[in-house]
Amino acid sequence: MIGPTTILIAVIVISMALIAFLVIRPSVTGTRGGKILAFISLFIFPILAGSMGAAEHVEHSKTTEFCLSCHVMTDYGQSLRVGDKGSIPAVHFQNHLVPPDQACYTCHTDYAMYGDVRAKLRGLRHVYVQYAGKVPETVKLYTPYNNRECLHCHLGAKSFEEGVVHNQDPETLPKIKSNQLSCTTSGCHEVVHNVKSLREATRLKEVAK
């Protein structure tokens, strides 16, 4: 099946071929057909290629590979591959409970109206900090992790709605659903990107060598 990237590459190549023809033979623009060709090649096609390219870049920025391409995210990428069954990110990633090729984006975009836009703007800020600022040693979330991001998938699921611990106290479920009781910091699902112990384990391994 032809994907959007293939179509975009085809548009770029066709644009370049048409423009190259005009650059080599500018005299063709003397005719009515040549003027139309010039307008299509120098205006319509580049705008089409540019818009499609921007969309492709935005789509590509959602991939796990893209997020982990920055050095500061290396440990977070490793935390997706640890064998700890209590690690929320690792369990979700390894069991494909989130799309593995969009693992970071799936959990770290907020599922509100402008969540995608906010995530992209923050991404641009991260690039700015990478090149012009100081990258912090420990990456912190801008705001405490909202249960909404978990409930985007878990709400209505039998395992969540009928879970024993979730129903021990009749107030627990409503509190989770209203984000009053955090899934991650209330002591229930607290192992999230345990980068500190991962770094320590790596350090001990290196010492042992």
Cβ proximity to another protein: between 15 and 194 the closer is 15
Reference 110, options 118, 122, 102; nearest CA is: 118
Give whichever of 2 and 164 is closer to another protein, judged by the CB atom: 2
- Shortest gap between Cβ of 127 and another protein (angstroms)? 5
42 vs 191, which CB is nearer to another protein? 42
Q: Is 22 in the site for another protein (CB under 8 A)?
A: yes
Distance CA 50, CA 161 (A): 46
Query: According to CB under 8 A, which one of 20, 155, 201, 204 is a site residue for another protein?
Result: 20
Q: Give the Cβ contact number of residue 111 at 10 Å.
A: 14
The reply on whether position 194 binds another protein by CB under 8 A is no
Report the residue number, 23 or 113, with the smaller CB distance to another protein: 23
CB of 77: closest distance to another protein in angstroms?
13
Q: How far is the CB of 41 from another protein (least distance, A)?
A: 8
Show the site string, 32-71: x = touches another protein by CB under 8 A, - = not: ------x--xxx--xx-xx--xx-xx--xx-x-xx--xx-
Closest CB to another protein among 15 and 87? 15
Lookup result for tokens 């405490």: 144
| Cβ–Cβ under 8 Å, residues 65 and 45 | no
Give the binding-site size for another protein (rule: CB under 8 A).
37
If binding is defined by CB under 8 A, does position 72 make contact with another protein? no
Can you tell me the distance from the alpha carbon of 145 to that of 108, in angstroms, rounded to the nearest whole number?
Answer: 9
Binding residues for another protein, rule: CB under 8 A, are 5, 8-9, 12, 15-16, 19-20, 22-23, 26-27, 29-30, 38, 41-43, 46-47, 49-50, 53-54, 56-57, 60-61, 63, 65-66, 69-70, 123, 126-127, 130
